[in-house]
Structure 1
Amino acid sequence: MKSLDDAAEPAARGDGKYPIDDFLALQEATPARQARSEATFRALIQAGSRALDGGSLEKISISEVCRAAGTSVGAFYGRFENKEVFFTAIQQSAIADVWDGIQQMLNELDARDAPAAEFLESIATFWVRIYRDNRGLYLAAFKHASTRPGVWTPFKKLGWSGSALIAKTLANRLPGGHDDLLVRQAMQFVNGLLVNATINDPGPIHLDDPEMAGHVSRFLCLYLGVPAQAPVETGRSRAVRKARQ
């Protein structure tokens, strides 16, 4: 089985696939599990993901994870050799879910020929949710990167592959015509912003702020020259506007 670091570098391959396929292929290479075993596996992955929201990988208690998953410590070690392997499985599962979600979102928008502004608004909302839903996983990977350099590689591949797929779907809808590189550059800025908001949270806009997706959407529209849709005013933005009057 290939390791995560054996996957292709971020460049289009002859078969038209993106680098994320190499990472997701690691899941497909594992032996098939029976339905009951699969349910236990998924329960452990979900419990582990929730545990990461409360602390680092080192602080995760395997016994508490097993208790939350409704299974035994023996069942855990029957599936995962150690915490490192468990973390990789959590990461694989999360990235596979995100990748499926990206493809479904873009297919739906493409099928109804949505305008570019709607594309960008949907992408912004989805992208912010990726970081919100997986904050513990990103934080744990960041803390873990000093002892295991390759741990951040799957996130880089997800960002590159997601951006490439967005560019492939969106580029022809831009006012200036097809510009694959411009779309990928815009998404590079978005990923940088959201990684920083997840790990460092410098403000003034925070990851959990309702306005975050709107700010990302407006940035994408401005960067790509797409007229933005009228923003929906939230309670907080309304209060800010009134305070400025």
Structure 2
Amino acid sequence: MNPTIPMQTVEGLRAPRQERSEASLRAMLAAGRGLINASGSLTGFSLAELTQAASTSVGAFYTRFRDKETFCALVLEDMLTELRAGLDAQMAQDPVWHDGPADAICARIIAFYVATFRSYAGVFAAYLRHAASGGPLWGPIRDANQRILDVMVPCLSGHLSAEGRDWAEDEIRMAIRLVVSTLTSIALEVPHGIGMEDAALEPRLAAMLQRYLAGPPHVPAP
């Protein structure tokens, strides 16, 4: 079952009034996500391409959305809601998240982020480029990742402490953000010597995170 479309979080749009209207909205959001992901740009597709892919019309688009930026904001919020629902389901079904050990939780964290970026590298690149140009649409990704870390980090922190690696939660967040930064720069096609689809990417990032957290915590400032 699809998570609820987060209509209340985006200004400038009208909620669907009936089931068929919601299905049309979902078709537009899915088409927009695909076009943004393929182009790596919020401006790399036209409304004609969008409405053709969604089997709707430009008139129907403007009945729902004030402008293209409003549409792109809802595409992003809908995708982030779906990702969080998937993570919640994974954490509820996989006992490793709660039972450990810490290195296995690290591996789960890396697997989640790598799978997410492999699926939506173009989407993340598009919104980051938009933010660099002064657009406001990167904030929801940052905020969503904060909420994801809010559920991941306590799972990992408790097992690190039980294993004698007493890292503070803000230091664990910093370590995971290094992974996210690496994946973001790969999505932006910054040369790294390893690509998003490289089979070695996930084990290398997992080893990097595990090595980081294997060292002494609370390194004193010079």
Describe how 1:1-245 pairs up with structure 2 within 5 A: 26=9, 31=15, 33-55=17-39, 56-110=41-95, 113-174=99-160, 175=163, 176-177=165-166, 179-225=168-214
1:233: which partner in 2?
none
Residues paired across the two proteins, number: 203
Give the Cα separation in 2 of the matches to 1:194 and 1:204. Answer: 12
Q: Flag structure 2 segments of 5+ consecutive residues without an equivalent.
A: 1-5, 216-222
Q: CA deviation at 1:112?
A: 6.5
Q: 1:25 to 1:103 in 2, by over 3 A?
A: farther
Q: CA deviation at 1:85?
A: 0.6
* Aligned sequence identity (%): 27
Q: Report Cα offsets for 1:53-80 as digits up to 9, x if no partner.
A: 2322223111111111111222111111
Give the Cα separation in 2 of the matches to 1:195 and 1:137. Answer: 11
1:242: which partner in 2?
none
Q: CA deviation at 1:30?
A: 6.9
3-state SS of the aligned residue for 2:99? coil
Contact 2:14 2:65 in 1 (8 A): no
3-state SS of the aligned residue for 1:81? coil
Q: Which amino acid aligns with 1:220?
A: L
Q: 1:44 to 1:215 in 2, by over 3 A?
A: same
* TM-score, reference length from structure 2: 0.82
* TM-score, reference length from structure 1: 0.74
Contact 1:197 1:206 in 2 (8 A): yes
Q: Flag structure 1 segments of 5+ consecutive residues without an equivalent.
A: 1-22, 227-245
Contact 1:106 1:166 in 2 (8 A): no
1:17: which partner in 2?
none
Q: CA deviation at 1:219?
A: 1.3
Q: 1:195 to 1:170 in 2, by over 3 A?
A: same
Q: Report Cα offsets for 1:91-115 as digits up to 9, x if no partner.
A: 1011111111222222333477242
Give the Cα separation in 1 of the matches to 2:57 and 2:36. Answer: 19
Aligned-CA RMSD value: 2.4
Q: 1:163 to 1:25 in 2, by over 3 A?
A: farther
Give the Cα separation in 1 of the matches to 2:171 and 2:124. Answer: 26
Q: CA deviation at 1:164?
A: 2.4
Q: 1:167 to 1:69 in 2, by over 3 A?
A: same
